[in-house]
Amino acid sequence: MTTDLHAQIAEDIEAAQYREALRTIDREDLRDPLASVLRARAWMGLERFSDAHREVSGVLAMQIDNATRLTADQVKLKCLGLMATVEDALAAALALVDNALACESPADAVEANLAAAWHYARKQCRPLVDATLAKARELDQAAHEIDHLEGFILLMFDERLAAIAAYERARSAPGDDAKSARIRRSARCGLARVHYLLGDFAAAHRELDAISPLASSDIRTRRGRIEILAAEKRWGEVVAILRRDRRHLAALRLRRFRRGRTLTRYLPRRGLRRGRPRARSHRRAGRRCARRLRHRGAAALDAPLARSRTRSSAPAPLRLPFRRAAQKPLRPRVV
């Protein structure tokens, strides 16, 4: 049963205000299946995929109506696309298409077709991608989320100009509701990504500037801004963004942060090097930064930043990446 409170939580999730949605669910002590699905969607936005998958798995084990079950299946499908193999996620997407059509829910069928098209693109099967997108357009020709996903898939096939055209169509999505605003925001992030790959950093900044003010949990836009500034080697602004938004970054339990693949690119422990740093030292520094964020909070980043301004950055000695492989004896070739 959908109430006004559930609708408000859904709007917060569409507006990338995931923490506010979780606080509302906990404050109101909502325990119904729809609230559990909304909690899983909020955890998906915070990239806590295992928690979201566990939540929707518990919902699907209940006796619920078809609409709630289809919504829970959508969340589970997104988790499978990031946690399971491509084959398993593709099979789940195709099964969800059949279930949505059997329940006479074209909107859920469109979402499932889009997920199937993405998994076909991951398998580099372009004819099946085009056929699946065509099926989605037959179900709903006015769905601008199809244009958004088409731009993402075209970028996977390195068709950047066609991706720009698809993202621009998604950016012009009409409507004042939260879903249309989310599509426009995601399309601008996609356009910024394409301009970043094309080297047009000014256009990428313009697309991200149009999204401001950012939502409290909009980590994607913040991450895109940091990547563009890092490509321009504007390290001072990168550090300023990390300091300003460290509260949002510290609250996320991202696998990339734990493995040191994001923070280390912009915040090495030994300061901002002038040349290209070693990947191993960056991964090690990223793990240290992630441990500080988890155990001591965001304030623990101030001390390394203060030391990095006064510490010199000497070039690291050259190491051969295939040293162990070079020591193996060569086997004679048998003809």
Query: CA-CA distances (angstroms) from residue 38 to 3, 29, 71, 264?
Result: 13, 13, 9, 33
CATH 1.25.40.10 occupies which residues in the chain? 1-83
Cβ atoms of 58 and 35 within 8 Å: the answer is no
Model confidence, pTM: 0.71
Could you read off the pLDDT of 197-223 as tens digits, one per residue? Answer: 999 999 999 999 999 888 877 888 888
CA within 13 Å, CB half, 174: 1
Mean of the per-residue pLDDT values of the chain: 79
Q: In whole angstroms, what is the distance from residue 80 CA to residue 50 CA?
A: 10
Could you read off the pLDDT of 100-135 as tens digits, one per residue? Answer: 999 999 999 999 999 999 999 999 999 999 999 999
Cβ atoms of 142 and 179 within 8 Å: the answer is no
pLDDT band at 295 (very low <50, low <70, confident <90, very high): low
Residues near 301 by beta carbon (within 8 Å), at least 6 away in sequence: 242, 243, 246, 267, 289, 292, 293
Domain 1-83 has CATH 1.25.40.10: yes
DSSP string, 221-258: HHHHHHHHHHHTT-HHHHHHHHHHTHHHHHT---HHHH
Cβ atoms of 167 and 191 within 8 Å: the answer is yes
265: its two tokens: 């690119």
